[in-house]
Amino acid sequence: MKQTATSVVADGVALITLDNPPVNALSASLRQGLQAELEKAFDDEAVGAIVLLCAGRTFIAGADITEFGQPWQPPSLPDLCTMLDDAPKPVIAAIHGTALGGGFELALACHYRVAAQSAKVGLPEVHLGLLPGAGGTQRVPRIVGAEVALEIITSGRQIKAAEALALGLVDAVVDDAALQDEALAFARRIMVDGGAKPRIRDRADALRADRDRPELFTAFAAANARRFKGVVAPAAIIEAVEAAVRLPFNEGLAKETALFERLVTSPESAAQRHVFFAEREAARVPDIGPDTSAIDIGSVGVIGAGTMGGGITMNFLNAGIPVTLVETSQEALDRGLATIRRNYEATAAKGRMTAAQVEQRMGLITPSLDLAALAEADLIIEAVYESMDVKTDIFARLDRIARQGAILASNTSFLDLNRIAGATSRPEWVVGLHFFSPANVMRLLEVVRGAATSKPVVATAMRLAKRIGKVAVLSGVCDGFIANRLLAPRGAQAEAMMLEGTPIAEIDRVLVDYGFAMGHFQMMDLVGLDVIGRNATERTVMGDLVAAGRLGQKRGAGYYDYDEKRRSRPSDVTDRLIKEVAAAHGVAHAPTSGDEALLARLLYPVVNEGAKILEEGIALRASDIDIAAVLGYNWPVYRGGPLFWADQVGLDRIVADMRQLEAVHGESFRPAPLLVRLAEAGRRFGDGA
């Protein structure tokens, strides 16, 4: 591993190059190398100015997150920024790729910033449950003012070079290919012009107006309360930016450091850092290395233009991959195309896409009513009705139509992929690509590996996921694969407690307080009770609600009643039905109360199912199960996912509580053998099963 800082001097300019693949994260050894090269350049009389450049594909992408939780090795990132503040010579940062977090903060501590046209800058620490801890919360407001700084830092968004120039965050934008030369020329001009060393910390003009707006910070917090619910970093960011307005620089810096230290030791940040690395770990399949050949996907066929087929299609259009979209009727095809267009036009209306881009994407679709149109596709994805008969029929027909070497994929959400593959003469080319609705939005893609699926097909699916902006999680074949199987017990327990007399509003509230965007019954009403459907052979509350026309939000009534603004309130009709169904099933009245007891009923069975999924080898690792929950079911990211959260609760406590619940509620709470083994050994899911 390189992790080097080197420098060369030419025409009085020292060019320091950092090289720590793949993203020049500021590891301890890189910080030490940079410190040494800066000191050398500061002391070298032949040097009049310094350019800081990075090798590889990007400028520094931030502090080295893998070092968090370990003792900090000197020099710290703030120490390097202070070194730049006190530099005897002008330092110019030459930015390409993505200068993020501590990388951008280091650039802000330089005297000037020259960015490549395609470069982006940003402070994404908020996504790790942190705030910029190397002066970003103090320097950015001094350039753009508090209000814009709050938006930039709490959103963590990446800012394109042109916008950064307009905001004053960079001083020049140059052609990508000319970055080094232009930065050196910029340095030489600075030297000739007297070697000025402007420091952002000395600027106060952008803050003067903010000092007369005491309400700015409380108003910003209030306006974003919903977005910031549950996470801890945004409030700290607001506090740090307010310190930039109210305090001298060094005092503001001290405030930022104190806030950072508090965040970096918080369970929320630990959870968010876990998710960051878990997302990247999920791409690793032990028996498939980078040398496993993949199939080039230049064209895709999608069968089914319904909600899922349309969303799936959009993912490929967004990646510039043409799609042949097949339906059984012109009316269904037209409806699907209209939905895709409507989605893009909605994005364009928000200014996030141009009309030309909408047409460009729509132009990549070849609609057809004939499966034969898929004969040359490299990948064909079936996204039709969840019926094994329908799917096996389609795959049998595809077997006769698709070219040799085409990948045949099913979007099935729970059917046996091996049976689907068995309908063809080429099961090694069959894989599951399970998207989550809305398929063009949700980032989880379960890649279902059948018994016969070949390694090149799995490798292709895993790499294709990143190309279309998804996070792939490899799943074995079982009912519900990973995410749906994992979360099913939460619904079962919610409905069991409903029949026992626990108010559904209480069940939903405790899930929302835990961090879910909505509760179980709220979600059912949103999706639509008729859509969810159940092949229920016995009487259920949902069945009664559907029979009564109470289909959910769309009908103004489901489990809840809804007003004209779709605000929910408990329903007497539902309460009556619950009592009737409970009586019909002989369910004793035994409501559960107390947040801990409710959460144990709802979430321990999810943890337990995760242990079974892991033990059966359906998922490769515990963190994959966390990622499936976070990206597939919006499990609150600051909880880290069910198994990370279970580790924080303590597996021994969960097993003990489950045993008590098992005595009352039966085998739904029988602890999985792996969970018991880990608990008894004092180990955690995070230690590796």
233/542 with CB nearer ligand T1G? 233
From the list 37, 39, 105, 331, the catalytic residue is 105
Indicate the residue among 283 and 452 with the shorter CB distance to ligand T1G: 283
Taking the least distance from each CB to ligand T1G, the nearer of 134 and 364 is: 134
| Minimum distance from residue 650 beta carbon to ligand T1G (Å) | 28
Question: In whole angstroms, how close is the CB of 135 to ligand T1G at the nearest point?
Answer: 8
Stretch that binds ligand T1G, among 7-15, 95-103, 285-293, 605-613 (CB under 6 A): 95-103
| Residue 290 binding ligand T1G, by CB under 6 A | no
Q: Which of residues 3-62 bind ligand T1G (CB under 6 A)?
A: 22-23, 25, 61-62
- To the query of whether residue 125 is one of the catalytic residues in this protein, the response is yes
Q: Is 327 labeled as catalytic in the residue annotation?
A: no
Task: Judge whether 42 and 89 are in contact, CB under 8 Å.
Answer: yes
In angstroms, rounded to a whole number, what is the distance separating the alpha carbons of residues 68 and 452?
Answer: 41
Is the Cβ of residue 98 or residue 347 nearer to ligand T1G in the bound state? 98
Minimum Å gap between C-beta 456 and ligand T1G is 21
Residue for token digits 């597939």?
A: 632
Residue list 52-71, contact with ligand T1G (CB under 6 A): 61-66
Please check whether residue 65 is in contact with residue 27, taking contact to mean a CB–CB distance below 8 angstroms. Answer: no
Dihedral sign from CA coordinates of 666, 667, 668, 669: positive
Which residue is listed with tokens 């929910």? Answer: 568
Out of 77, 87, 295, 529, which residue is the one contacting ligand T1G (CB under 6 A)? Answer: 77
Q: How far is the CB of 465 from ligand T1G (least distance, A)?
A: 12
The answer to whether the CB of 190 falls within 8 A of the CB of 196 is: yes
Using alpha carbons, select from 280, 278, 272 the residue that is nearest to residue 462: 280
With binding defined as CB under 6 A, does residue 80 bind ligand T1G? Answer: no
- Angle, vertex CA 222, rays to CA 218 and CA 223, nearest 5: 115
Q: Is the dihedral of CA 282, 284, 285, 290 positive or negative?
A: positive
Nearer to ligand T1G, 63 or 91 (CB): 63
When the beta carbons of 158 and 368 are compared against ligand T1G, the nearer one is: 158
Q: How many other C-beta atoms can be found within 10 angstroms of the C-beta atom of residue 458?
A: 22
Nearer to ligand T1G, 277 or 441 (CB): 277
CA angle (607, 609, 615) in 5-degree steps? 105
Strand order in the sheet with 323-326: 365-368, 323-326, 300-303, 379-382, 407-410, 430-435, 444-448, 471-475
CB of 87 to ligand T1G, least distance (A): 20
Least distance in Å: CB of 298 to ligand T1G?
22
The closest of 37, 16, 20 to 28, measured between CA atoms, is 20
CB 646 within 8 A of CB 679: no
Interface of this chain with ligand T1G, residues 244 to 283, rule: CB under 6 A: 277, 280
Residue 549 burial by Cβ neighbours in a 10 Å radius (0-12, 13-18, 19+): exposed
Residues 291-350 that bind ligand T1G (CB under 6 A): none
Residue 432 as a binder of ligand T1G (CB under 6 A): the answer is no
Residues binding ligand T1G: number (CB under 6 A): 25
Please check whether residue 450 is in contact with residue 427, taking contact to mean a CB–CB distance below 8 angstroms.
yes
Q: Which of 37, 125, 446, 609 is catalytic?
A: 125
CB of 104 to ligand T1G, least distance (A): 8
Considering only residues 97 through 156, tell me which ones interact with ligand T1G, judged by CB under 6 A.
98, 100-102, 105, 124-125, 128, 130, 132-134, 136
Distance CA 8, CA 16 (A): 7
The catalytic residues are 105, 125
Point out which residues bind ligand T1G (CB under 6 A). Answer: 22-23, 25, 61-66, 77, 98, 100-102, 105, 124-125, 128, 130, 132-134, 136, 277, 280
